[in-house]
Structure 1
Amino acid sequence: MDIRHLQYFLKVAEYKSFTKAAESLYITQPTISKMIKSIEEELGVILFNRSGKQIELTDAGQVIFAQAQDIVHSFHHLSTELDDLMNLKKGRITIGLPPMIGSSFFPKVLGKFREQYPDVVIHLVEDGAKKVEADVESGLLDIGVVLSPANEALFHSFSLVREKVMLLVHPSHPLAEKEKVTLAELQQEFFIFFRKDFALHDRVIAECVRKGFQPQVIYESSQWDFISEMVAANLGIAFLPEPICRELDKERIRVLPLVDPIIPWHLVMIWRKNRYLSFAAREWLRFTEDLFGGRSD
């Protein structure tokens, strides 16, 4: 058994499918099935329960899964350290960020970084902030952008953006002409939310509950532009970060300050404590912290 066997095993466990795992690895399904079978024969255990629609790890598979993650991560860190010694200022960084961030300030940051480090490859993964945080913790991502506060026990961080959450309503809405709106005024409204894997989802619900009501959520989406279009179609109200609201068509959507409470939208860059970071990743952190004047925690 070599490191490739373990990498293939982890992919099958992640996707719960031989076919999807094979597609993600750009190999054939019979190849990955044969590889898993060879591991099972070598170890003398069955790793996956193949009887249902989705394959599941067996008890033995779960034990191997935990150990395989550590081994693959250690191998990856070893390879990265050696690459740093041989290829200074070359490398690859995997960064996770919520979808709404990518369309606002991030392209400019990437452009400036690439001017200085043209040989560094940056792989962006778009996910909700909660998923990004979990993947930075597990090592699937090198660095992530999430909503503050970050878990100080697990992550180093520095501040990127400090903005507020704004309310979106249709121009014909009774609240459209107000200068500001309180959360309590929205008790009877129909809400359009981000999905549950977005930190803003839980944050808004928590504030509503604090004000004594459970919001009536009729739609959930991962795309801010789709959410704004549903508001423009008069299907409900929504909350979006202030930078996104600056890009919206004010003739089709009214953007109002939310008060009592003001819901902050503070973004921080995070990376895992006590984990090796490549030269490229360290340069990215230094570059962005200098650019934003962020305060390291």
Structure 2
Amino acid sequence: MTSPPPPLPPRPEPPSRPVAALDPESWATVLAPRLAHFAGVARSEHVTRAAHEMRMPQSTLSRSLARLEEDLGVALFARRGRTLALTPAGRTFLAGVERALGEVERAADEVRADADPAAGKVAFGFLHTLGPETVPGLLRAFRADHPGVRFSLVQNYGEAMLERLRAGGLDLCLTSPVPQETGLVACRVDEQRLHLVVPDDHPLAPRRRVRLAEAAGETFVTLEPGYGLRRITDDLCAEAGFRPRIAFEGEEAETLRGLVAAGLGVALLPPPAVPRPGVVELGITAPRAVREIGLAWREGAPDTAPVAAFKRFLLGRRGRLLPRGEG
């Protein structure tokens, strides 16, 4: 009976490298090329097998691991003949390495997808009032030819969206009024009629159309200052020769319709996606009561392929962007 071979002498710890010898900001640069090598060996627990899987010479992989341990100043593997086992430090390091490599993989997938007009993502902003019907219809029509494109959708009032657009958080946005400012490109893509919305028991309710001046003595409910529709309301009332007496200010058009239905005032609003009980929508004969819908993007910002495709799609629907009945 042969006696077992004597145990291998413990592998000396790699010499510590003084931390001062490396610029702290250079750790990622120093370690990054070796992280995939380390993860591959950790998974297979065998240098030869890992080298074969990664299609590189074993000697190159061994040198990469040795240099990694030298740079870190710790042993990542315990050698057991031809196999390797992670040390406690190695297990801790592997968890971070796998997270980092996963993030790199996801980022690479994302940028490669963005270069493909059939895939990638578009960050798209739009007004709340365009959300119930207009935007879902647009996305359905666009994705018929671009089913792989994903969207990050943001609903907000105009100025908040433009602020996000300026900061690079949006690729495109539909807003009103059409912005005219340095650093942004915007063009009119459609217009939307505004109605005078009154309670169904209001003296004007039996009418189909009115002049806005006929509402000069009414109490109005409006959006808060800073909203594009509020600015349009103030401007139209001024053009009609009066300043609106405002009782309530809100943040959402359908809430204002609810206030009108409750008899708390009248409002200038775009058509609803679904008719609201308790109110009557009156056309306005004078002044011309419309709001322009504009498409905006950052001047000089490079478009990914899906953003360019969606921009072309929206610009190609000028004058017919809104569903019939809303324009």
TM superposition score category, shorter chain reference: 0.5 to 0.7
SS in 1 for 2:144: helix
| Distance (Å, rounded) in 1 between the aligned partners of 2:320 and 2:222 | 29
Out of 264, 267, 272, which is 2:290 matched to?
Answer: 264
Map Cα deviations across residues 138-193 of structure 1 (whole Å, 9 max, x no partner).
32211110124331643333443222111100121111123422222222211111
Equivalent residue, structure 1, for 2:87: none
CA RMSD of aligned residues (A): 2.9
- For structure 2, the 5+ residue unaligned runs are 1-23, 26-106, 322-327
Equivalent residue, structure 2, for 1:285: 311
| Distance (Å, rounded) in 2 between the aligned partners of 1:189 and 1:293 | 33
| Distance (Å, rounded) in 2 between the aligned partners of 1:111 and 1:210 | 39
TM-score by length of structure 1 reads 0.64
Count, aligned residues: 217
- For structure 1, the 5+ residue unaligned runs are 3-77
Equivalent residue, structure 1, for 2:212: 183
Question: Greater relative contact order (Cα 8 A, min sep 6): structure 1 or 2?
Answer: 1
1:13-32 equivalences in 2 (<5 Å): none
Query: Do 1:96 and 1:124's aligned partners in 2 also have CA atoms closer than 8 Å?
Result: yes
| Distance (Å, rounded) in 1 between the aligned partners of 2:121 and 2:239 | 43
Query: Do 1:80 and 1:278's aligned partners in 2 also have CA atoms closer than 8 Å?
Result: no
Equivalent residue, structure 1, for 2:199: 170
Equivalent residue, structure 2, for 1:36: none
| Distance (Å, rounded) in 1 between the aligned partners of 2:257 and 2:219 | 14
Q: Which moved more, 1:195-204 or 1:152-161?
A: 152-161
Out of 124, 127, 130, which is 1:95 matched to?
Answer: 124
Q: Which moved more, 1:93-102 or 1:204-213?
A: 204-213
| Distance (Å, rounded) in 1 between the aligned partners of 2:235 and 2:188 | 23
Out of 134, 138, 146, which is 1:105 matched to?
Answer: 134
| Distance (Å, rounded) in 2 between the aligned partners of 1:145 and 1:122 | 14
| Distance (Å, rounded) in 2 between the aligned partners of 1:86 and 1:270 | 22
Is 1:139 matched up with 2:168? yes
State, as a whole percentage, how many aligned pairs show the same letter.
23
Q: Letter of the 2:284 partner, please give it.
A: L
Is 1:255 matched up with 2:281? yes
Cα offset, 1:285, TM superposition: 0.7
TM-score by length of structure 2 reads 0.59
Cα offset, 1:214, TM superposition: 2.5
| Distance (Å, rounded) in 2 between the aligned partners of 1:88 and 1:161 | 25
Equivalent residue, structure 2, for 1:225: 254
| Distance (Å, rounded) in 2 between the aligned partners of 1:267 and 1:81 | 31
| Distance (Å, rounded) in 1 between the aligned partners of 2:109 and 2:167 | 17
Query: Do 1:191 and 1:237's aligned partners in 2 also have CA atoms closer than 8 Å?
Result: yes
